[in-house]
């Protein structure tokens, strides 16, 4: 079992915790669709960098028996 030799100093503890913060999500507006989206992600309508990347199909309302 690993056991530490001595108590870590406040400085070492702080250096270890320096990367534990939560970052804000960067928000952008798409040029073509004018939608708000997270940077480097597609919009809800499927646009990325002004180009349509996905073609979404409409949900059918038919009841299948």
Does residue 13 fall inside a structural domain?
no
Domain count, the chain: 1
Does residue 62 fall inside a structural domain?
no
Read off the pTM: 0.50
> Could you give the CA distance from residue 41 to residue 46 in angstroms, rounded to a whole number?
9
Side-chain-facing half-sphere of 41: CA atoms under 13 Å: 11
> Could you give the CA distance from residue 41 to residue 60 in angstroms, rounded to a whole number?
27
Give the pLDDT confidence score for residue 64 in this predicted structure. 66
Q: List, for the chain, all residue ranges whose pLDDT scores fall below the cut of 50.
A: none
Q: Which domain holds residue 45?
A: 23-49
Does residue 45 fall inside a structural domain?
yes
Cross-strand pairs, 51: 48
Strand residues in the chain grouped as ranges (E): 27-29, 36-38, 47-48, 51-52
Give the pLDDT confidence score for residue 44 in this predicted structure. 86
């Amino acid at each position: 079992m690993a056991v530490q030799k001595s108590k870590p100093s406040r400085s070492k503890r702080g250096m270890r915790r320096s990367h534990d913060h939560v970052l804000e999500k960067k928000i952008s507006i798409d040029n073509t669709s004018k939608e708000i989206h997270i940077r480097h992600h597609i919009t809800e309508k499927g646009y990325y960098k002004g180009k349509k990347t996905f073609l979404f199909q409409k949900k059918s309302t038919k009841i299948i028996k």
